[in-house]
Amino acid sequence: MDSVNPFSLEGKTILVTGASSGIGRSIAVACSQMGAKVIVNGRNEQKLKETLAMMPGDGHDVKVGDLTDTTSLPTMVGTLPKLDGIVHCAGIGTRVLCKNVVEADIDQTMGTNFKAPVLLQTELLKQKKINKGASIVFVASLSTDSPSVGNALYAASKGALVAYANCLQLELAPRMIRVNCISPAMVWTDLIFKGGLTEEELHEDEQKYPLKRYGRPEDIAHLAVYLLSDAASWMAGSNVKITGGAK
């Protein structure tokens, strides 16, 4: 490789969605620490500015916008520079028993976790915003292969994302653009408290993991940096599970 450090992101411009908190914020910060110019996207401008304040280096930018508002997507994408990396991290957690699912639940979960990143990706391609040799990363979930009560819609939305990414990889391979997914098990973010368990119950549950803990946002961020870097130049069409040994 030409680079002395193949894990460096120097000279790369990377878009991270869902960067106002949790895993997305951690990925944005980690990318900046590795030398990338990072564009952070989310709905909450104040939280995005907090993320920006954590990021070393110059040239970073904030793009406030709700990705589920498809009418504003073309305008937002039009303001972006050419990208060397994209991390689709925006998403919501939801828990509802299968017998209680209503159409609004499906629309909200699939709309945010699947429809929004797919249509953003479409617009990025339509406007030719992705450089040859770029890397695209979708943050999915171990839940697609590890079912739990009440998690059907969330798992289905992430499973759809993985299936979409597999096809996207085939279509973009002629331009040497790599597409991969990250599927974490439980990670300590605000999302995990929406399942109805208390912090004490969650700490008890994490002891069942072989490594005796849930993931931290930076655990996922470090994997994302690898997939975005030239060190992963032969990594394509993969769904990488990062689980602390959980199955």
Catalytic residues: 154
CB burial of 73-91 (b: ≥16 within 10 Å; e: otherwise) equals: beebbeebeebbbbbbbbb
Q: Which residue in 86, 64, 76 sits closest to 12, CA to CA?
A: 86
DSSP string, 26-63: HHHHHHHHTT-EEEEEES-HHHHHHHHHT--SS--EEE
Cα separation, 104 vs 82, whole angstroms: 36
Give the distance between the most distant pair of CA atoms in the chain: 56
